[in-house]
A = this chain, B = another copy of it.
């Protein structure tokens, strides 16, 4: 094959070729395993006609949304691919970069699309299985998630490995294209899906639970189907694309930095580590099962995780022994030199730091959001003094949680500094990147656990709407409760890995500048001193970006929810709907959600791409460096705050619903619903979307920095680009803040004295 010409040249030894082909084989194995699980899942029973009808409504709504979203961003993706093609220097690289960009976005979209479709196929099968067997229901729900997990692992590893095999030492820019495509698409999926799911959820809860006292998923609530669709487009499609992107960007950054520091060995080692992760996820996820008597869902899932982790750690050490010291001399040499001078196990230690970091972040997430721990207890207790103190308590818990999360991340970076003490910053950055590799080793398990959440949530919803028998309902409720716990975990890991990846990419930014200007790394570093006023200005502006982004997305949810509340309230006025003799018009709410989520997509997307461009062109490369640092810091702090404050409110509500402080229907319960509702757009829209945002901006900066440096001796065209970008950016922000005519009309009526009854 001509494609692999680079690889078969002198540059790669036979051992290296074998290693790369093995990694590719493992990636394909992961995909085959996903296929196997899909076939297995689809064979299960789909229940009664009514269940199938409900499931079909959810599936149609979800697919209609995704199709519309893909069409909306297709144009932008094609323009960017063209720009990437025409702005690269060499023809060979230009083509590769544009194709890799398309590949990254298609992979990300595919993971989201398939992941979601598996979830909507899985939910009804879980509901059907719950009528006969707890064990089978658990297995279907969990393995539905594993399909997405394996797809993520497989495609992420496949893309990175292929690019390296084809481009060899020229892979740098192509890898950037791959990473950029994946993150950009994930950003769109997160923003669109996040707005959709939370607008539907908030709208459904406000009218259904708070005003009418209906239970969750009551079929009389017109927003019920939209709410279930939202779980799929947000928690499945958006989340899967996002984790794919995290998985992909950590591998891209490790490969880029590995090449810069250690050549081939620095690139192949992280690929081998990832391959071990895929194998251990297959083993661990396969083992997740429980007996009909034990009904121990959480225990089974946890056991699978521990097995995978153990397999991984042993695997890493073996690869370290065998590969890092004597990659060319086969197995035996590795054994012999074990413990002998010159064996460099430092990359292994940094991956283990990554695993430790994942464990620490999981612990913190659990501490700040688990119902029995003191932060949630504090929030729950505050519900007794009303809505306001509930919110205040949640804010305090959220702010505190981001402190500890950032300290843990700082400690991981510090560990990398200690491991590579006395070497140069590039080595340390490689260590940080390997820490990201370690953190996301068990992505297969993480996604299984995460998708398990919305699948069992939806299955429970179908059970409720199809009025299944009590035993099945109990099984579904148990699985749903377990899913609420497991799905909290991935979010913390995703945002933590974003910071780790961004910190390592930041180093690539400096290497990039050094290459373009043909000066030393140290010279570039000294340009980026925080004592430079321009760096500080960029830094202030960068810090503002996550705040602007959050303001836009939160506002979007608030606005869409407002419209849905209006719609549901109007439908509920029909007495036949409340009596249960007529189905509400679910379709209308689904269509409002789709429309509103679409409208908001373009603004944040343009912000992510254009803001670094404007900062770079107007304020130059120093400010752009500060800008990236500011985004990382503010983004991390806000994202963790949002995730954990939201989680704490959510679980405080559940704690009260378990009968404490007066239980369901009490004033305390109402206050806790307010907390949960406020937390929704924070924890499921703005917060998670900050994760791809941080990385998109880093990727864009890496791609444009040669252009930015050339633009420092400005011509007339520069100002044209700047002004056009600013104009588009301004339009996008205003567009995001604009209110729909229906909303304006309604609020004008309200001001004029016709308040909508609450």
Contacts and interface: CB of A to CB of B under 8 A. Distances in A.
A386 B202 CA distance: 11
Interface string A431-455: 0100000000000000000000000
Contacts of A674: 386-388, 391, 674
Interface stretch (A305-313, A693-701, A747-755): A747-755
Contact of A633 (B385, B391, B392, B543): B543
Contacts of A634: 543, 633-634, 637
Contact of A755 (B210, B391, B633, B661): B661
Interface stretch (A41-49, A60-68, A89-97, A534-542): A534-542
A64 B503 CA distance: 51
B530 A524 contact: no
Nearest to A205: B388
A567 to B, nearest CB: 12
Interface string A534-565: 11110111011101101110110110011001
Contacts of A558: 382, 389, 392-393, 396
A126 interface: no
A551 B375 CA distance: 12
Contact of A389 (B525, B543, B561, B755): B561
A215 interface: no
Contact of A530 (B410, B626, B636): B626
A213 interface: no
- Leading 3 A-B pairs by shortest Cβ distance: A526-B526, A388-B677, A400-B551
A417 B547 CA distance: 25
Contacts of A525: 526, 529, 531-532
B625 A544 contact: no
Contact of A425 (B206, B429, B532): B532
A720 interface: no
Contacts of A11: none
Nearest to A413: B537
Contacts of A429: 533
B637 A544 contact: yes
Interface stretch (A26-34, A340-348, A355-363, A662-670): A662-670
A391 B678 contact: yes
Contacts of A531: 425, 506-507, 510, 524-525, 528, 625
Instruction: Classify the interface of chain A: helix, strand, loop or mixed.
Output: helix
A406 B538 CA distance: 11
A422 to B, nearest CB: 13
Given A206-B389, A537-B417, A666 B755 contact: yes
A406 B543 contact: yes
6 contacts: A387-B387, A403-B551, A414-B537, A527-B529, A529-B530, A666-B755
A396 B540 contact: no
A410 B541 contact: yes
Given A384-B758, A536-B503, A547 B210 contact: no
A117 interface: no
Contacts of A750: 381, 384, 661
B562 A389 contact: yes
Nearest to A670: B387
A378 to B, nearest CB: 8
Given A403-B548, A678-B391, A410 B528 contact: no
A130 B636 CA distance: 53
Nearest to A554: B396
Contacts of A625: 530-531
B522 A384 contact: no
Nearest to A503: B536
A524 B530 CA distance: 11
Contacts of A548: 399-400, 403
A751 B661 contact: yes
A117 to B, nearest CB: 31
Nearest to A506: B531
Given A393-B558, A544-B403, A544-B637, A565 B626 contact: no
A484 interface: no
A380 to B, nearest CB: 9
A636 B536 CA distance: 13
A400 B552 CA distance: 8
Nearest to A757: B667
Contacts of A403: 544-545, 547-548, 551
A662 B750 CA distance: 9
A436 to B, nearest CB: 14
Interface string A513-528: 0000000001011111
B528 A562 contact: no
A405 to B, nearest CB: 9
A221 interface: no
A656 to B, nearest CB: 10
A410 B614 CA distance: 15
B539 A629 contact: yes
A409 interface: yes
A652 interface: no
A1 interface: no
Contacts of A593: none
A674 B432 CA distance: 44
A662 B425 CA distance: 62
A604 to B, nearest CB: 13
Contacts of A210: 386
Interface in A634-683: 634, 636-637, 641, 660-662, 666-668, 673-674, 677-678, 681-682
A668 B755 CA distance: 9
A637 B540 CA distance: 9
